[in-house]
A and B are shown apart, each in its own frame.
Chain A
């Protein structure tokens, strides 16, 4: 009787677990089915590298080059903002902060992760956009503004994983370094960070995935211009924000092209996650 029940529960959990994989499979199948035909129709080269996106053209022009570059710029910008800040906070919280402060920082970071992206976008629009317009020039809706806000948005990803991996460094490393006469800073920079390197790298790659995939906040702040941004103060658009902006009105080939953009994003995110997995697994072997 008990055995039957145990088996029943185990089976139920198995089904639930499989449904997650199934959901992923279904999503993958439908995105690719809706998006792949037009990629073949247009040719992969033209689709990826043409910078002309004009659904209103005779027959439609669908090149995602400009948006892909926009995504690249914004994501790199977010990393420039988020990585030094995030790693610094992780080091401080794991190594330097007194317990009470670390206990204050950790929930604050978790809270930061829980704020909806539309709120980030709204605050960026109200505070950062006017500031940039007045002090740096341009319309304010630009790559720079979006990158800064995205940099803050990826902080929780970077901090929590980096901090965990710093805490996982065996105490003997720290004690050994200090016993050899290294200063605290030398211990952190020369021993702890290299020892936690794989975890920190994984956190950066996951943060990159988040920045690449963010949609709402970017729509609100980047200006959604279809040009290739030539400066940080130029408005641009990203793969995600263009899908978000145009999907509501799109039909026919236009809609397919947006799904195809989704295919490209999907591939990017898959690759990033794969790299993050490989990088963080190396830690176990080391």
Chain B
């Protein structure tokens, strides 16, 4: 055999590469095996899980999400091993997901419309006073409801017209389809009233609305009274502060329902039922009240306990 140094070097390289190749294919096979094992295991776990219902998916309103999450955490602490999966995807999407069965329970921060109510059963879990928020430096402390309507319709465009500074109003809205916007349209603008000003700024979450108002001395927006911070001031509406007491007494008018929605004709079973039961329990309601919401008036459950 002729052995030229370059050739033998090349051969060495080839052998090495081959060996490495084999190593690689071995390790690939190993990974595949491991993956198969894991899949099989998780498959077992899932199959076992379904029988005992250790998972429930709750999806919908981003306004309800933080409260539902808090309650889910408490619930899971009491019931180790179960999984309550909360997804903030918006009221309309959550209602749809419940209709199609993609979610076990839907969350909505607006009342169901006639079409939806045919398919779904709403369960009132809490009431939420919607706060109209402005910057703390803004001298305006109170608006009348008709004024508020005209502000958000884009007819009142300067704070001077409300007794404030001579500065243009920065309107901050939510986007179409959001429960907060739907509830605001219903409560403030009224059915068939003037539409919300299309020139307004739109933000994708309550946190984003609050952040804009915190930064802009001329901004006004609306958020759940449960998420107020010292960085913003909640305006009085018709002279009434957006507190739980005023809302319960019926004096503060901008109150929207927080709903769980369920498919009609199907009593929730197992975990979904236990979770809703926990949310409506005395303890669950106390948590909600503590977070700034208003306890739901006693209401018959859609199923018999």
A interface vs B, CB < 8 Å?
52-56, 125, 129-130, 133, 139-141, 219, 223-227, 235, 237, 245-246, 248-251, 254
Contact = CB atoms under 8 A, between A and B. Distances in A.
Contacts of A140: 215-216
Nearest to A250: B177
B108 interface: no
Nearest to A235: B201
12 contacts: A139-B218, A141-B212, A223-B202, A224-B201, A224-B203, A225-B201, A227-B198, A246-B177, A249-B176, A251-B93, A254-B176, A254-B177
Give the 4 A-B CB pairs with smallest separation, nearest first.
Answer: A249-B177, A224-B202, A249-B90, A223-B201
B46 to A, nearest CB: 27
Contacts of B185: 56
Given A133-B216, A249-B90, A141 B201 contact: yes
Given A52-B198, A251-B92, 12 more contacts: A54-B195, A139-B201, A140-B215, A141-B201, A223-B202, A224-B202, A225-B201, A235-B201, A237-B202, A249-B93, A249-B177, A251-B93
Contact of B175 (A125, A139, A224, A227): A224
Contact of B200 (A52, A54, A225): A225
Chain B: interface residue count, which band? 20 to 34
Contact of A246 (B175, B200, B218): B175
B89 interface: yes
Contacts of B91: 249
B98 interface: no
A129 B219 CA distance: 14
Given A245-B204, A249-B90, A56 B176 contact: yes
Contacts of B175: 224, 245-246, 249
Nearest to A248: B90
B19 interface: no
A125 B208 CA distance: 11
Nearest to B88: A248
Contacts of A55: 176-177
Residue from B198, B202, B204, B218 with most neighbouring chain A CB atoms (10 Å): B202
A117 B33 CA distance: 38
A204 B198 CA distance: 34
Given A248-B93, A249-B93, A254-B177, A56 B202 contact: no
A146 to B, nearest CB: 13
Interface string B74-99: 00000000000000011111001000
B207 to A, nearest CB: 12
Contacts of B92: 249, 251
Contacts of A237: 202
B225 interface: no
B177 A225 contact: no
B176 A246 contact: yes
A225 B199 contact: yes
A133 B200 contact: no
B178 interface: yes
A54 B197 CA distance: 11
A254 B200 CA distance: 20
B201 A227 contact: no
Contacts of A54: 176, 195, 198
Contacts of B224: none
Contact of B96 (A53, A141, A251): A251
B190 to A, nearest CB: 14
A248 B174 CA distance: 13
A248 B89 contact: yes
A224 B178 CA distance: 15
Interface in B166-214: 170, 175-178, 185, 195, 198-204, 211-212
A186 to B, nearest CB: 49
A152 B24 CA distance: 42
A190 B115 CA distance: 70
Contacts of B198: 52-54, 225-227
Nearest to B176: A55
A254 B175 CA distance: 12
B215 A130 contact: yes
A219 B178 CA distance: 16
A53 B185 CA distance: 17
A139 B212 contact: yes
Contacts of B176: 54-56, 246, 249-250, 254
B93 A226 contact: no
B195 A225 contact: no
Contacts of A254: 176-177
Nearest to B185: A56
Contacts of A130: 215
Nearest to A228: B199
Nearest to A227: B199
Nearest to B177: A249
Contacts of B90: 248-249
A18 B184 CA distance: 51
Nearest to B202: A224
Interface string B123-152: 000000000000000000000000000000
Contacts of B202: 223-226, 237, 245
